[in-house]
C-alpha cells in the first residue's frame, strides 16, 4: 500500500477513527519497526490507548541488530510496557502473542470466567505507522492472506473480525497513524527504512545519512560489503558517495548509487543494522 502524505486533516481523521475502533477492542497491538523502535512510534499513541491493554511489537527483527533489539526490549519493559519481538515476514507470532495477551487481560478473563463465560474472546486491533508491517503481521496471525485496508484518509471500510485458531480475534482494519515529522534525524531514519513515501525526500540526502551512520556505528560494513578502501573511507561523505558511484560504473549518476545503497539497507544486504539506540543506557542482561 502506498504511503500517504499526512496533513492536519488526515491526522485528525485517523485519530477519530482509531478512537472509534478502540471502543471495540480489549487490546491494542502497536507495531513498530525494530530497526527504529522509537522513531517508528506515533507520538500520540500512548495518549490514545490510555486504559486499554497495550502490547508493543518490535517487528522486522530479522533486519535488526539482535543486541540492540534486546536493549530496546529491556528499555520498553523498564518503562512498564509489554513487549513482543517478531519477524512476521517468516514466522508465526500467534503463540507468544496469545501468552502475553492472556496475561495482560488476566483479570478481565477471570471476571468473565466467574460470571460463567467459559470461552472468552480477546478482541484486539493493530496500530502503527505506515510500513511497520501491520498487514504482514495480521496475515501471519490468521495464517492466510486477507485484504487489509488501513484507515487511511478517504478509504471507506467495513470492519470484520479476523479469527485466529485461539481465543483471539483481530479487527481486519489496522489503525494507520502518522510518524513523527518534527526532527530531521527521525525523518532520515524513517526514509531509510521505507516509512516515508518516495518523492518526499532526496535519495542522495538519505544515502549521505546512511554513509555517515555506517561509518560511525557499523564501520565494518562499507569495506566488507562494497570493498571500500581506507583511503575512500577517509573521504567526506559526499566525496565517498561519488567514489562509490564511479566504482559501481554509474558514471556521475549519484542518485542511482544512492538508491542502491538505500535498497541494500532495506533488503538487509548490509547486515542486520539498527539505526537508533535506547535513550538511556538500558542494560542488556538477557
Ligand X SMILES: Nc1nc2c(ncn2[C@@H]2O[C@H](COP(=O)(O)OP(=O)(O)OP(=O)(O)O)[C@@H](O)[C@H]2O)c(=O)[nH]1
Q: Is 256 known to sit in a ligand binding site?
A: no
**Residue 47 and residue 73 in contact, taking contact as beta carbons nearer than 8 Å:** no
Interface with ligand X in residues 127-186 (CB under 6 A) = 128, 130-136, 150, 176
Choosing from 26, 30, 87, 204, the residue that interacts with ligand X (CB under 6 A) is 87
Is 42 a binding residue for ligand X by CB under 6 A? The answer is no
Q: How far is the CB of 215 from ligand X (least distance, A)?
A: 24
What are the beta bridge partners of residue 123?
169
Q: Which is nearer to ligand X, 133 or 187 (CB)?
A: 133
Is 59 a binding residue for ligand X by CB under 6 A? The answer is: yes
202 grid coordinates: 532526496
Task: For residue 278, give the nearest of 85, 69, 56, 55 by alpha carbon.
Answer: 69
Distance CA 12, CA 189 (A): 24
Residue 150 C-beta: closest distance to ligand X, Å: 5
Chain-centroid distance of CA 277 in Å reads 15
Minimum CB–partner distance for residue 279 and ligand X (Å): 24
Sequence length of the chain is: 286
Is 46 marked within a binding site? no
Cα separation, 146 vs 160, whole angstroms: 11
Q: Is 21 in the site for ligand X (CB under 6 A)?
A: no
Residue 151 annotated as part of some ligand binding site: no
Residue in the shown chain whose Cβ atom is closest to ligand X: 133
Taking alpha carbons only, the member of 168, 76, 182 closest to residue 125 is 168
Residues contacting ligand X: total by CB under 6 A: 20
Eight-class DSSP state of 36: S
Least CB distance from residue 252 to ligand X, whole Å? 31
Q: Give the Cα separation of 166 and 171 in Å (integer).
A: 15
Select from 46-54, 59-67, 106-114, 214-222 the region that touches ligand X (CB under 6 A).
59-67
125 within 8 A of 22, measured Cβ to Cβ: yes
Tell whether residue 227 is among the known ligand binding residues: no
Which positions lie near ligand X, rule CB under 6 A?
1, 3, 59-60, 62-63, 86-89, 128, 130-136, 150, 176
Q: Which residues does the annotation place in the binding site?
A: 59-62, 131-136, 175
Binding site listing for GTP: 59-62, 131-136, 175
Amino acid at each position: 500500500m502506498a504511503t500517504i502524505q499526512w496533513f492536519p486533516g488526515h491526522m485528525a481523521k485517523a485519530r477519530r477513527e482509531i478512537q472509534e475502533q478502540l471502543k471495540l477492542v480489549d487490546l491494542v497491538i502497536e507495531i513498530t519497526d525494530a530497526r527504529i523502535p522509537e522513531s517508528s512510534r506515533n507520538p500520540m499513541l500512548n495518549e490514545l490507548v490510555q486504559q486499554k491493554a497495550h502490547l508493543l511489537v518490535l517487528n522486522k527483527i530479522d533486519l535488526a541488530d539482535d543486541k540492540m533489539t534486546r536493549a530496546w526490549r529491556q528499555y520498553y519493559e523498564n518503562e512498564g510496557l509489554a513487549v513482543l519481538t517478531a519477524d512476521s515476514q517468516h514466522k508465526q507470532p500467534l503463540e507468544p502473542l496469545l501468552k502475553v495477551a492472556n496475561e495482560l487481560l488476566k483479570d478481565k478473563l477471570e471476571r468473565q470466567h466467574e460470571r460463567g463465560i467459559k470461552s472468552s474472546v480477546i478482541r484486539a486491533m493493530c496500530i502503527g505507522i505506515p510500513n511497520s508491517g501491520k498487514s504482514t503481521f495480521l496475515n501471519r496471525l490468521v495464517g492466510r492472506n486477507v485484504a487489509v485496508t488501513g484507515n487511511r484518509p478517504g478509504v471507506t471500510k467495513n470492519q470484520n473480525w479476523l479469527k485466529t485458531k485461539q481465543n483471539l480475534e483481530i479487527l481486519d482494519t489496522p489503525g494507520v497513524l502518522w510518524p513523527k515529522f518534527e526532527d530531521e534525524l527521525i525523518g532520515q531514519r524513517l526514509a531509510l527504512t521505507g516509512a516515508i513515501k518516495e518523492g518526499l525526500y532526496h535519495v542522495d540526502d538519505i544515502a549521505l545519512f546512511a554513509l555517515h551512520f555506517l561509518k560511525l556505528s557499523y564501520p565494518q560494513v562499507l569495506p566488507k560489503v562494497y570493498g571500500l578502501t581506507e583511503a575512500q573511507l577517509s573521504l567526506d561523505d559526499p566525496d565517498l558517495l561519488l567514489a562509490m558511484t564511479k566504482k559501481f560504473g554509474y558514471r556521475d549518476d549519484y542518485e542511482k548509487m544512492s538508491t542502491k545503497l538505500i535498497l541494500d539497507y532495506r533488503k538487509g544486504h548490509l547486515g542486520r543494522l539498527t539505526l537508533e539506540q535506547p535513550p538511556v543506557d538500558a542494560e542488556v542482561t538477557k
